Structure 1
Amino acid sequence: MLTQTTTRVLEPSDLDAALEVLDRDPVANAFVTARVQVAGLDPWRLGGEMWGFYEDGLLRSLCYSGANLVPVCATPEAVRAFADRARRTGRRCSSIVGPAEATGPLWRLLEPHWGPARDVRSHQPLMITEEPAREVAADPLVRRVRKDEMDLIMPACVAMFTEEVGVSPLAGDGGLLYQARVAELVGSGRSFARVEDGQVVFKAEIGAATARACQIQGVWVAPEFRGRGHSETGMAAVVAYALRDVAPVVSLYVNDFNTAAHAAYRRVGFREVGAFMSVLF
């Protein structure tokens, strides 16, 4: 049976159809959904284009093309169409990230044209929890970072990013975009930290938030405080804030080689529900 397919850049008038696709998997799609709910589909406000894959006139799959390339509910046919468009437009992103079942094939099609990558993290367990930690007590000293504490939290954020990604977020534009992102999270009450004697001991952010799910990002413990359980008690505190104030499902994804973090999140109550993949340039 033959089907008609097409791919195009979505417009603001396509918002309802795009949100229907995003709503199919509120956990895996939390990052893109949060951006679309705030900015709509206007490329300038969204910070990139939203590509739509249509089959017999119906919108089936999406791909966010901005600082990241993110396939959303992408079928095999959609992956091939998105890879073709990405090849023609050229690489503009610093990473490809998304559910492993779509991101893997997308990268295999793009690697001959965009490779080599700086790093490929092919299996990053996606984990969720829907209730406060039972086995780990929440750290009572973990709190929201105040708007007047940007000078305090920014060095910790830069250290986390550099350690996690392998490059400094201050490169290129001197960190203006990264600082704006940190300020956005602080201003919205989604940046959390334990501070002792003017030093950040633990920090994490709720990097994406919708009414159905949120995603914790940027988890970091100062090196000299590691091995004392701060990641577990700190995460237990952030999960409690998230469930109370943000969404009924809290998610995160973790590198499979980071066995210590994976074990810590399990003790806090997270369980695996899928896997992400990241390709870093």
Structure 2
Amino acid sequence: MLTTTTSRVLEPDELGAALAVLDRDPVTNAFVAARVEAVGLDPWRLGGEIWGWHDADGRLDALCYAGANLVPICAGPEAVRAFADRARRAGRRCSSIVGPAESTGRLWSLLEPSWGPAREVRANQPLMVTSEMPAGIEPDPLVRRIRKDEMDVLMPACVAMFTEEVGVSPLAADGGLLYQARVAELVGSGRSFARIENGQVVFKAEIGAATAKACQIQGVWVAPEHRGRGFSETGMAAVLRYALDDVAPVASLYVNDFNIPARAAYRRVGFRETGTFMSVLF
């Protein structure tokens, strides 16, 4: 038995309390906060459950999103033990565990005996944040929002990025239906950006999660034949301008610690490391 404390699935009428927890760290929690703000706590609409853990006074103190990803939120040791107990009993239904390194690492240590082995553990993924445009780097004027009729041009780059980053193709499980739907959602909402030359994507990135307080840039990719030519910096500057002007006052991303060129490029665009994420991939 992992713990004597328990967690439970939150009910729709507990939305206000859940949002209060998420609002403690709007940058770190942007992914889950954006989903909860958009659809509430109904599991069917949310694509997963929100588990809650209450402190000794009965106050909601920590959350865990349990969907395609398992994401601990503001979770101390007791809450993590409760979430691990629920997850262990339910069985693994997620493709990854991801979140702040301390709570995610503790959660994985409790789940590994029953859920392991993982396909890959990325224990150190710097969280990088900025609220200002960079000095000395001009945004690429050819980076623009992708139109719905350009999905066929964009998709090969998205698949290449995902496969390179995660290590498996997003088309493997269901022929790519869910992944294509997610890409189409970002395009439709005006949060997918690229530089396209001669019908090919040179640079691309998306604003994946967005609230009024923070947004998260993801899917940054430069075509291999164009790498080393500065497209990552000028492209990111362009996406950052869209993000800060149109979406939220703070933009973040997280990156693998071993991706030294990307970390250097993000620093040149003005991002600074403020924390650490961890991902466990199955």
* TM-score interval (norm. to shorter): over 0.9
Mapping 1:164-183, distance limit 5 Å: 164-183=165-184
Task: Provide the residue aligned with 2:60 in structure 1.
Answer: 59
How far the C-alpha of 1:39 sits from its partner, in A, is 1.2
Task: Provide the residue aligned with 1:110 in structure 2.
Answer: 111
Check the 8 A contact 2:5/2:82 in 1, yes or no: no
Task: Provide the residue aligned with 2:124 in structure 1.
Answer: 123
Task: Provide the residue aligned with 2:48 in structure 1.
Answer: 48
- Aligned partners of 2:209 and 2:190: how far apart in 1? 12
Deviations 1:167-197 (A, max 9, x none): 0000111100000000000000000000011
- Aligned partners of 1:44 and 1:255: how far apart in 2? 32
- Aligned partners of 1:104 and 1:7: how far apart in 2? 19
Query: What letter matches 1:144 in structure 2?
Result: R
Query: What letter matches 2:242 in structure 1?
Result: Y
Mapping 1:71-86, distance limit 5 Å: 71-86=72-87
- Aligned partners of 1:165 and 1:135: how far apart in 2? 32
2:7 is paired with a residue of what secondary structure? Answer: strand
Task: Provide the residue aligned with 1:35 in structure 2.
Answer: 35
Which consecutive residues of structure 1, in runs of 5 or more, have no partner in the other structure? none
2:277 is paired with a residue of what secondary structure? Answer: strand
- Aligned partners of 1:153 and 1:43: how far apart in 2? 31
Check the 8 A contact 1:5/1:54 in 2, yes or no: no
Q: Which moved more, 1:132-141 or 1:174-183?
A: 132-141
Task: Provide the residue aligned with 2:22 in structure 1.
Answer: 22
Task: Provide the residue aligned with 1:13 in structure 2.
Answer: 13
- Aligned partners of 1:39 and 1:71: how far apart in 2? 19
Deviations 1:222-275 (A, max 9, x none): 011001010010000000010000000000000000000000000000001101
Runs of 4+ in 1 over 4 A off after TM superposition: none
2:72 is paired with a residue of what secondary structure? Answer: strand
2:83 is paired with a residue of what secondary structure? Answer: helix
2:41 is paired with a residue of what secondary structure? Answer: coil
TM-score norm. by structure 1 comes to: 0.98
- Aligned partners of 1:184 and 1:200: how far apart in 2? 19
Which consecutive residues of structure 2, in runs of 5 or more, have no partner in the other structure? none
2:33 is paired with a residue of what secondary structure? Answer: helix
- Aligned partners of 1:137 and 1:27: how far apart in 2? 25
- Aligned partners of 2:281 and 2:28: how far apart in 1? 19
Check the 8 A contact 2:140/2:235 in 1, yes or no: yes
- Aligned partners of 1:102 and 1:233: how far apart in 2? 35
- Aligned partners of 2:43 and 2:51: how far apart in 1? 11
1:156 is paired with a residue of what secondary structure? Answer: helix
- Aligned partners of 2:77 and 2:138: how far apart in 1? 44
Check the 8 A contact 1:210/1:246 in 2, yes or no: yes
- Aligned partners of 1:95 and 1:233: how far apart in 2? 31
- Aligned partners of 2:249 and 2:173: how far apart in 1? 37
How far the C-alpha of 1:135 sits from its partner, in A, is 2.5
- Aligned partners of 1:134 and 1:33: how far apart in 2? 31
Deviations 1:49-81 (A, max 9, x none): 100001121100000000000000001100000
- Aligned partners of 1:169 and 1:14: how far apart in 2? 34
Task: Provide the residue aligned with 1:231 in structure 2.
Answer: 232
Task: Provide the residue aligned with 1:273 in structure 2.
Answer: 274
How far the C-alpha of 1:5 sits from its partner, in A, is 5.1
The count of aligned residue pairs is 278
Query: What letter matches 1:266 in structure 2?
Result: R
Q: Quote the RMSD (CA, aligned, Å).
A: 0.9
1:26 is paired with a residue of what secondary structure? Answer: coil
Check the 8 A contact 1:10/1:51 in 2, yes or no: yes
Deviations 1:122-145 (A, max 9, x none): 010000010111131110100000
Task: Provide the residue aligned with 2:159 in structure 1.
Answer: 158
Residue 97 (structure 2) pairs with residue 96 (structure 1): yes
Task: Provide the residue aligned with 1:200 in structure 2.
Answer: 201
How far the C-alpha of 1:210 sits from its partner, in A, is 0.2
TM-score norm. by structure 2 comes to: 0.97
Check the 8 A contact 1:135/1:267 in 2, yes or no: no
Task: Provide the residue aligned with 2:140 in structure 1.
Answer: 139
Query: What letter matches 2:248 in structure 1?
Result: A
